[in-house]
Amino acid sequence: MAAPTFALNHMVAPSLPFADLVKAGAAIGIHHFEIRNDLAGNAILDGTAPEAIRAEAATANAEIISINALQRFNEWTPEREAEARELAAYAAACGAKALVLVPLNDGSGQADGERQANLRTALKALTPILEQAGLIGLVEPLGFNICSLRSKKEAAEAITAVSGSGRFKLVHDTFHHVLAGEPELFPEITGLVHISGVDDAGVSIDDMRDPHRVMVTEHDRLDNVGQIRSLLAAGYSGPFSFEPFAEDAARDADPATSARESIDFILQKLG
């Protein structure tokens, strides 16, 4: 079983400029990063040119694995198409390898038949946009009960249906994997794994939300280590990207040390 490759999603340190995030990662041996388009005053939203991000990454020998994310991607509208083209152009210009695709998560678009059709429509429309930009589309099912795409199996079937195996891959998120209650893994079409833990012993699985998500510790209730072990054993060789959303994580004065401690814990448990 190969050793895991770790990455940092910008949520690990949302207030750090990208160049400082890269430096923090390099200090603990991490050279893979995800940037985001939802952080005010940072990366994309602050107007930073993609060429500047590319240069900062090159200087530090860092790889930008994705931009996270095109939201509501499976609600395909002219507005969504324009947003997809803009994000894809930025991703290509900054040197990112992929664009994360996040589905509707507001209780709409859930009806059987409707959601599968909407997903296929979006994937077909995204294909030429991604091809032109030289990007992979990373489809990320969310385990929340109100989400329009909870099942990785359903996402995999849609990718096959649109002959998209060369352009689309899945995101396995350890948090959403538990919430969805879908045990099956799809390592052969997984392009990215998001990892985060839930330490709160008082919250039920159905009530877990993003603010509960912290770095992976010995108190983790999501069995991140077990999920990582299973994915590696099944042949997954891509990055495992830390993506905590808790306020404590966002306010962490030393996110690199927290990440290093989490990595050490995971590696120790993996043996």
pLDDT digits (tens, 9 = 90+) for 222-260: 999 999 999 999 999 999 999 999 998 889 999 999 999
| CA separation for the pair 4, 6 (Å, rounded) | 6
Query: How long, in residues, is the chain?
Result: 271
pLDDT per position as a tens digit, 175-204: 999 999 999 999 999 999 999 999 999 999
Fold (topology level) of 5-270: TIM Barrel (3.20.20)
Question: In the prediction, which pLDDT does 41 show?
Answer: 78
Helix, strand or coil, per DSSP, at residue 78: helix
Cα dist from 47 to 40, 44, 65, whole Å: 10, 6, 20
| CA separation for the pair 149, 112 (Å, rounded) | 11
**Domain coordinates in residue numbering, the chain:** 5-270
For residue 64, pLDDT beyond 90: yes
Share of the chain above pLDDT 90, in %: 94
Look up residue 7 and give its amino acid.
A
Question: In the prediction, which pLDDT does 250 show?
Answer: 83
Helix, strand or coil, per DSSP, at residue 171: strand
